[in-house]
Structure 1
Amino acid sequence: MTLPLYGTASQSAGFSSDKARSVLRLRSVDSAAERHVADFALAGTPDDVRRAIVADWPSILVVSDGSIDVPGTFTGRLVVVPSKYDYLADGDVIGFDHASRKFRTLYRRNSAHNSFLVTERCNNYCLMCSQPPKDVDDRWILSEIKESLPLIDRATRALTFTGGETLSDWKDFTGVLKECRDRLPATAIQVLTNGRAFSDSRIVDAWKDIGHPNLMAAIPVYASVDHVHDHVVQTKGAFDETILGILKLKDRGQRVEIRVVLHALTAPIVEDTGRWIARNLPFVDHVALMGLENTGFAVANDAMLWMDPVDYGDGLARAVDHLSAAGVNVSVYNLPKCVLPKSVWPHALQSISDWKNGFVEECDRCEAKTTCSGFFTTGRPRFSRGVRAITSEQELS
């Protein structure tokens, strides 16, 4: 089941007309933590609402399908959201639009899979893009992220920034990453980017100057030859800019992950791609060979892109072998173990974000379920003919 991260509040009141949006942090009614102006008491029942008012909370968010009546003496901010958002908990952060009452869950304190969308703009137009680009002025999102960062738990282990192309407004965005350096120095920060911006030395230098101790640029390289990569991203010359960007980053001692999304255009040549990376870019910090999320453009291009993982498993295994032999740290993402050769299993990780991760009935009796990626629940999921429960000790060995 996909966790709903977007929605519309049924009620709201008390918000200033001076600004269009607010960032809210949720706190349990009984929280003894120092209150921030963004903090809202999180209530689920009328009794919770009464206790919040007695505790002098100036702002309350209620998770309920019913209409909420508050005493006329309460003049603070109020938001009521449907009960399907009952996963919201102490420390979570949401963005709220005053006029439309639309909200987005920006951060969940108890989740290991937190990501911020930076922009929907992009200078690539990938055939399988899960977040199809839009030519819109959405620079307000960076302001929302800046407002959110002081509210995030400093013990957060990892945070991802995604897009669109995250470096579309690179000066403002590197400023956001400096905020992460100052406020979340112990958090692993991963930035998904097509890498082309790093062909500009000014941007690479600005990236290096961020100085976060655990910052990683995750960059796609879809093939070892330029015309295949350029076709996948629908941009001539993208391959050359991307590779130049990777080289400049590593020349300045920055951490880089290469990502290869596997589908009918890239999976048949994944062995060649793995061998090429092992020979030419063995100094990258990580390589992720990734199953396709069948959402966004991937649904529209399904006939062009779908390939059963069973049919490219041998090539994938050889790609892993080439990379491992070169000393490159390699992982396989988004593919269940049952469709992979056994030699790949040690590299296959639970990589799908918890809010869009699920299993099929066959998985209920599988002994590898607790260490398996499972499946995406977003878009129009496609399932391999090789899906089966792993039950014997022989298969698990």
Structure 2
Amino acid sequence: MGEHQMITLGSRKIDFAAGQEIDPRAIVRVSTDYHRPLPLRAREAFLVRGDDAPAGFASYLVLPNGRCPDNVAAQRRVHLPPEFEYLDDGDVVRLVPERGEIRTLYRRSSPHNSFLLTERCNNYCLMCSQPPRDVNDGWIVDEILATIPLIDPDTGEIGFTGGEPTLLGGRFFELVQACKSYLPRTALHILTNGRTFSDDAFARTLGSLQHHDLMLGIPIYADLPHVHDYIVQADGAFDETIRGILNLKRHGVRVEVRVVLHKQTVTRLPALAAFLARNLLFVDHVALMGLEMMGFTRANLDALWIDPDDYRSELTEAIGILDRARMRVSLYNAQLCLTDQRIWRFAKRSISDWKQEYMPECEGCIMKGDCGGFFASAKHRYSDRISPIAA
């Protein structure tokens, strides 16, 4: 499809030796350090690329060109396929021998590390890329709490997403506190629908944690309550979301308003921008975001899809309104060739590196290095007006 290849984050076809000595659900930091202190080796996995490996690690991740020396017990070896060549020092993985599974939870070299906290949600958005499920998935929190201490404290940012993270109640605050404690230099970005924060006590508790660099990304899809409520498929959601934002700002929590661009939102986009500039001028950022062809989006594609070229003028007008109001605004997941050049300075390369692609039509474009490109899922539908920008 494009010149970028998606990164494989997980596989259930991993060769674990019989009689594995690895914990049934081990979460381990990857190391390539031959001089790692012995007490740390016992809790880590050594990445074997060549024909040598130091003794004492809990497990050994053997890449196709690697060969463990005889002093490493077969029961500690995990043979990985070529698609995991990207693993490197400081990454964090989960190993589940009984299922032949490995999952990359954190990549030290990536600026796009996020954690799904729960699949449960109290919205049912038309374009949800992670369709909610009413399941008991509290084990996810335990896994993330085990992962956070292993993350490099110099990581720039991590994200929490869902589902709806605030449905975890007290455990939600436990995760935020863990990030504050173990990652004192790392920004935390949380995607939430904001409704739970309509309870002032809940918003106050989050504010009282005083995380050093926290931002909540909260969607508002229209200036009219009934339109927003239709898009999120929840009566009263608009009012709860607005009250949630007001409570969060009252308690010193930074808020980003997020707007997904599709057929149901773009017609009132300038009106929504005016609403934000008039009523929520104090929010910290506004993110206008292209549609991802995942989950419910594919099922509701006819109701959602609109060629970005067809809302070019509405998008330009909306960004102009927000910018003139001196609100911080960014455009995510957009293709520059379908966007008015006057707003290119607001466009960001925001798609996670493991799922970003470019189309064959992009070949030869001089702006490719600055363009947001496409989600890998865009193969289901994308504009037929993509064309390379020439000098």
Q: Which residue of 2 aligns with 1:103?
A: 102
Q: Which residue of 2 aligns with 1:42?
A: 47
Q: Which residue of 2 aligns with 1:62?
A: 62
Query: Do the aligned residues in 2 keep the contact of 1:65 with 1:82 (CA within 8 Å)?
Result: no
* Counterparts in 2 of 1:33 and 1:297: CA distance versus 1, 3 Å: farther
Query: Do the aligned residues in 1 keep the contact of 2:55 with 2:71 (CA within 8 Å)?
Result: no
Once the 2 structures are TM-superposed, how far is the Cα of residue 40 of structure 1 from its aligned partner? Answer: 0.3
Once the 2 structures are TM-superposed, how far is the Cα of residue 97 of structure 1 from its aligned partner? Answer: 2.6
Q: Which residue of 2 aligns with 1:272?
A: 271
Q: Give the RMSD, CA atoms, in angstroms.
A: 2.1
Q: Which residue of 2 aligns with 1:236?
A: 235
Query: Aligned partner of 2:384: which letter?
Result: R
Query: Aligned partner of 1:245: which letter?
Result: G
* Counterparts in 2 of 1:366 and 1:224: CA distance versus 1, 3 Å: same
Query: Do the aligned residues in 1 keep the contact of 2:154 with 2:185 (CA within 8 Å)?
Result: yes
* Counterparts in 2 of 1:382 and 1:33: CA distance versus 1, 3 Å: farther
Task: Give the Cα–Cα distance (whole angstroms) in 1 for the partners of residues 86 and 262 of structure 2.
Answer: 34
Q: Which residue of 1 aligns with 2:382?
A: 383
Query: Do the aligned residues in 2 keep the contact of 1:9 with 1:79 (CA within 8 Å)?
Result: no
Task: Give the Cα–Cα distance (whole angstroms) in 1 for the partners of residues 84 and 264 of structure 2.
Answer: 38
Task: Give the Cα–Cα distance (whole angstroms) in 2 for the partners of residues 197 and 365 of structure 1.
Answer: 47
Cα-to-partner distance string for 1:251-304 (whole Å, 9 max, x where unaligned): 112100000001111112111111111111010000000000011111111111
Aligned residues: 385
Cα-to-partner distance string for 1:55-105 (whole Å, 9 max, x where unaligned): 343421123399x88758716533223221211111111122342122321
Answer with 283-292 or 317-326: which moved more: 317-326
Task: Give the Cα–Cα distance (whole angstroms) in 2 for the partners of residues 36 and 258 of structure 1.
Answer: 43
Q: Give unpaired runs (5+ residues) of structure 1.
A: 393-397
Query: Aligned partner of 2:16: which letter?
Result: S
Q: Which residue of 1 aligns with 2:175?
A: 176
* Counterparts in 2 of 1:55 and 1:189: CA distance versus 1, 3 Å: same
Task: Give the Cα–Cα distance (whole angstroms) in 2 for the partners of residues 92 and 391 of structure 1.
Answer: 39
Correspondence list, 1:89-238, <5 A: 89-238=88-237
Query: Do the aligned residues in 1 keep the contact of 2:21 with 2:75 (CA within 8 Å)?
Result: no
Q: TM-score, normalised by structure 1?
A: 0.92
Cα-to-partner distance string for 1:114-158 (whole Å, 9 max, x where unaligned): 111111111111111111111111110111111011111111001
Q: Which residue of 2 aligns with 1:8?
A: 12
Q: Which residue of 2 aligns with 1:326?
A: 325
> Aligned with 1:41: secondary structure?
strand
Query: Do the aligned residues in 1 keep the contact of 2:41 with 2:57 (CA within 8 Å)?
Result: no
Query: Aligned partner of 2:197: which letter?
Result: F
Task: Give the Cα–Cα distance (whole angstroms) in 1 for the partners of residues 7 and 15 of structure 2.
Answer: 21
Once the 2 structures are TM-superposed, how far is the Cα of residue 9 of structure 1 from its aligned partner? Answer: 4.3
Q: Give unpaired runs (5+ residues) of structure 2.
A: none
Cα-to-partner distance string for 1:3-49 (whole Å, 9 max, x where unaligned): 111211422256569x742212111153536625431011235x1xx
Select which of 32, 36, 42 maps to 1:28: 32
Once the 2 structures are TM-superposed, how far is the Cα of residue 178 of structure 1 from its aligned partner? Answer: 0.6
Q: Which residue of 2 aligns with 1:259?
A: 258
> Aligned with 1:95: secondary structure?
strand
Query: Do the aligned residues in 2 keep the contact of 1:109 with 1:156 (CA within 8 Å)?
Result: yes
Query: Do the aligned residues in 2 keep the contact of 1:113 with 1:159 (CA within 8 Å)?
Result: yes
Q: Which residue of 2 aligns with 1:81?
A: 80
Query: Do the aligned residues in 2 keep the contact of 1:356 with 1:376 (CA within 8 Å)?
Result: yes
Query: Do the aligned residues in 1 keep the contact of 2:197 with 2:248 (CA within 8 Å)?
Result: yes
Task: Give the Cα–Cα distance (whole angstroms) in 1 for the partners of residues 75 and 21 of structure 2.
Answer: 11
Task: Give the Cα–Cα distance (whole angstroms) in 2 for the partners of residues 63 and 181 of structure 1.
Answer: 35
Query: Do the aligned residues in 1 keep the contact of 2:156 with 2:187 (CA within 8 Å)?
Result: yes
Query: Aligned partner of 1:234: which letter?
Result: Q
Answer with 91-100 or 148-157: which moved more: 91-100
Task: Give the Cα–Cα distance (whole angstroms) in 1 for the partners of residues 380 and 42 of structure 2.
Answer: 42
Task: Give the Cα–Cα distance (whole angstroms) in 1 for the partners of residues 205 and 121 of structure 2.
Answer: 20
> Aligned with 1:307: secondary structure?
coil
Query: Do the aligned residues in 1 keep the contact of 2:63 with 2:82 (CA within 8 Å)?
Result: yes
Q: 2:280 aligned with 1:281, yes or no?
A: yes
Task: Give the Cα–Cα distance (whole angstroms) in 2 for the partners of residues 157 and 88 of structure 1.
Answer: 19
* Counterparts in 2 of 1:146 and 1:365: CA distance versus 1, 3 Å: same
Task: Give the Cα–Cα distance (whole angstroms) in 2 for the partners of residues 96 and 381 of structure 1.
Answer: 33
Query: Aligned partner of 2:204: which letter?
Result: D
Query: Aligned partner of 2:177: which letter?
Result: K
Q: Percent identity?
A: 44
Cα-to-partner distance string for 1:276-335 (whole Å, 9 max, x where unaligned): 111110100000000000111111111111000000110011110111111110000000
Q: Which residue of 1 aligns with 2:367?
A: 368
Task: Give the Cα–Cα distance (whole angstroms) in 2 for the partners of residues 33 and 337 of structure 1.
Answer: 49
* Counterparts in 2 of 1:191 and 1:143: CA distance versus 1, 3 Å: same
Once the 2 structures are TM-superposed, how far is the Cα of residue 362 of structure 1 from its aligned partner? Answer: 2.9
* Counterparts in 2 of 1:33 and 1:362: CA distance versus 1, 3 Å: farther
